[in-house]
Structure 1
Amino acid sequence: MIDTSLRLNEVTLIIYAVSVLLYFIDFLHHNRKANQSAFWLLSIVWILQTIFLFYQMYTTGRFPILNISEGLYFYTWVLVTLSLAIAKFLRVEFIVFFTNILGFMMLAIHTFSPSEGQSAAVSGQLVSELLFIHITMAILSYGAFSISFVFSSLYLLQYNLLKKKKWGKRLLRIEDLSKLDHMSYVLTVIGVPMLLLSLILGAVWAYIKLPEFHWFDTKVLGSFLVLGAYSVYLYKKTVTGLQGRNIALWNAASFLVLLINFFLFGSLSNFHWFS
């Protein structure tokens, strides 16, 4: 049975992922509610990490930094501590968000990497759970992008009906353009950080499991291409102010890249057998 401390780290990682997601939303929109929620979740992460750190000190009788696994955990604790201080006193959300992306990656490596105190069965189960979380988060992000595409498609349909002045029941049953555009954007905001965290966990899994990880694998490149396409969508939407039909078309094009990655690149991948 997997040790309770490992389960605690897994719970901490999930809370950390939600905190990063909320910080991403605040990073884009200066949303104070999202910022406050992210801060309190990050505080919970820090409390759980601190409890585990002191537990390690109690059980080992020393400060736990004498191997790579312990060093990674302490490094993550330092990053979380500094993030809380920056968020509280400096309020620089840009730095907080990217610092916690790094912290999340280090905590994932610490949580799922085999250590000296783990049996082969426990290590194997942890790696399997890491793969499960990676796939689940990727599929959830793809689901968010898919529904976002549906909203963009309805936007384009509504736009064409209005342009051609085709009034009727079909037009009345579709939501107004501003709402369709907003919902498409919100789902993309959810999907991008979720896909980013999934890719981080996937890289950690490959680092642990595979004897040689190929960054130029078609599925890997395709996944980062999908992330890049939707990141550009967010950039065009929030920074350049691109609106209307053009941004809806960009979203549709990004979804096409997603489909190519899922069906074509997945079949050409050397190790993404689950595709």
Structure 2
Amino acid sequence: MLGLNLLYILIIVFYCLSVLGYFIDFIQNNQKVNRIAFWLLSIVWILQLVFLGLRALEYSRLPIMTIFEGMFFYAWILVTFSLIINRLYRMDFLIFFVNLIGFSVLTISIFAPAGDVSSQLAELFILELLIIHVVVLLLSYATFTLSFSFSMLYFLQHQMLKKKRWGERMTRTGNLSNLEKRSFIFALIGFPLMLIGLILGMIWAWIKFETIPWYDLKVLSSFIVLIVYGIYLFQYQVKKKRGYNLALLNIAAFLVLLINYFLSSSFSEFHIW
């Protein structure tokens, strides 16, 4: 246990240095610092994977069952996506925003219950269906985070164009059209993932308890998230809406997602884990 704690602290330190490096590059356009930040992020990914593996061995289960584990796994997914996107697109500013969120989630997880689930909950989580339910939802959160990050870059570039702040920083944020398109694509991926995750959760609840917690705050807020993102996707694909206001709608949708992720669990009677 002490070894896991030390590893967790090491992950926080390396992650902090990586995000700081990307921030310096964001301000000063320092490619040397950017490369260091990338390699630090790669080390963070490896250490996170080792941490998850060791925790899985310690508790003999997939380490996504507690609030702490869910947040840690979510941060690991964001780091994974960041490394892949860096390889495919080399969008440094996007990596900075995504990992700023990932680092925030990881540091907040310090205050989450980190122990093993109780014997009663451990019995409930035996069903593989529930494991798939959790993993799919965490993947949806990660893809929505990427969608949000593209919209934030769109927002920043729009503000720079509006204030006529021409410069290399503006070009590094990416083309407005591409940012808008990629934001839509990741939201489009996240929407069915979240829908599937919710359906799997309902099937599991029915099998285990012969009831579906329709009035649970976590369930209700999750459907609100789907509705907001559904409106965004409808406006983009059907109404052919484009531009600044659509980016703001996507940013607002992510804020609703954050409220669902962090707050509703605290007031949920069903999602006590």
CA distance in 2, matches of 1:209, 1:135: 16
Gaps of 5+ in 2: 1-122
Asked if the contact 2:213–2:270 (Cα under 8 Å) also holds between the matched residues in 1, the reply is no
Give the drift of 1:213.
3.2
Aligned to 2:240: 241
Q: Partners of 1:213 and 1:126 in 2: how far apart?
A: 17
Of the two, which has the highest radius of gyration?
Answer: 1
- Residues 127, 209 of structure 1: 8 Å contact kept: no
Q: Secondary structure at the match of 1:224?
A: helix
In the other structure, the counterpart of 2:251 is 252
The residue type equivalent to 2:139 in the other structure is: L
Farther-moved stretch of structure 1 (166-175 vs 135-144): 166-175
Separation of aligned partners in 2, 1:232 and 1:145: 14
Question: Structure 1 residue 188: deviation in Å?
Answer: 0.6
**1:94-113 deviation per Cα after TM superposition (whole angstroms, max 9, x unaligned):** xxxxxxxxxxxxxxxxxxxx
Question: What do residues 99-142 of structure 1 show as CA deviations (whole Å, max 9, x unaligned)?
Answer: xxxxxxxxxxxxxxxxxxxxxxxxx7995211110000000001
1:17-166 maps to which residues of 2 (within 5 A)? Answer: 128-166=127-165
Asked if 1:205 corresponds to 2:231, the answer is: no
- The CA distance in 2 between the partners of 1:174 and 1:216, in whole Å, is 42
Q: Deviations over 1:218-268 (max 9, x none)?
A: 000011111111111111111111111011000011001101111111111
The structural deviation recorded for 1:169 is 2.1
CA deviations on 1:27-86 (whole Å, 9 max, x unpaired) are: xxxxxxxxxxxxxxxxxxxxxxxxxxxxxxxxxxxxxxxxxxxxxxxxxxxxxxxxxxxx
May I ask how many residue pairs the two structures share in their alignment? 151
Letter in 2 for 1:259: L
Q: Which runs of 4+ in 1 moved over 6 A?
A: none
| Partners of 2:231 and 2:151 in 1: CA distance | 16
Give the partner amino acid of 1:267: S
1:178-225 deviations in Å (ceiling 9; x for gaps): 010010000011000111111110000111112543201000001111
Q: Would you say the 8 A contact 1:153–1:252 is kept in 2?
A: yes
Kindly report the root-mean-square deviation, in angstroms, between the aligned alpha carbons of the 2 structures: 1.6
Checking the alignment, whether the CA contact within 8 Å between 1:127 and 1:205 is kept in structure 2 is no
Matching residue's letter, 1:194? L
CA distance 1:211–1:270, change in 2 (3 Å): farther
Aligned to 1:226: 225
Counterpart AA for 2:140: S
Q: Which amino acid aligns with 2:271?
A: H
The question of whether the paired residues in 1 share the 8 Å contact of 2:125 and 2:131 is answered with no
The corresponding residue for 2:172 is: 173
Cα distance in 1, alignment partners of residues 191 and 212 from structure 2? 24
SS of aligned partner of 1:213:
coil
CA distance in 1, matches of 2:229, 2:146: 14
